[in-house]
Amino acid sequence: MTLLTKQQILAVDDLKTEDVDMPEWGGIVRIRELTAEQRLEWNDRAFKSGVVDMREFRHGVLALSIVGDDGNPVFTQDDLAALGAKSVSAIDKLFARVDALNVLTPKAQQEAEKNSAAGGTGETSLPSPGA
């Protein structure tokens, strides 16, 4: 195994994406794994003062994760109410995929550990505080 340099590490595009078929919206939505910085910012907003802000927890992470062809988020923090006006089943479906991709909840953590034990990558992630 080769020891990687700083430049090699930073040059790698390591953010996973997934295309989710959304017939309820008439197409496909691309979601992307959060960056480490996005995860910290999202944690700060979603878990203020030890209280879970459910709007930020669900809609905020979707706003960060739904990306366009260029890989950039298509929504901003200003769009959380608009996302909240969408069908709960559609939002639940996307949140479940984003959760699986980012291991946000204890349920996703258990799935990741189960997959790891079944010959996965062996990686684990701590659940978000309050999740």
- Mean pLDDT score across all residues of the chain: 87
101 pLDDT more than 60: yes
pTM (global) more than 0.85: no
Q: Where are the domains of the chain?
A: 35-103
CA atoms of 19 and 113, how far apart (whole Å): 23
Confidence of residue 119 (pLDDT cuts 50, 70, 90): low
What does the pLDDT look like over 26-60, one tens digit per residue? 999 999 999 999 999 999 999 988 888 899 999 99
81 in Cβ contact with 16 (< 8 Å): no
Residue 122: its pLDDT value, please? 41
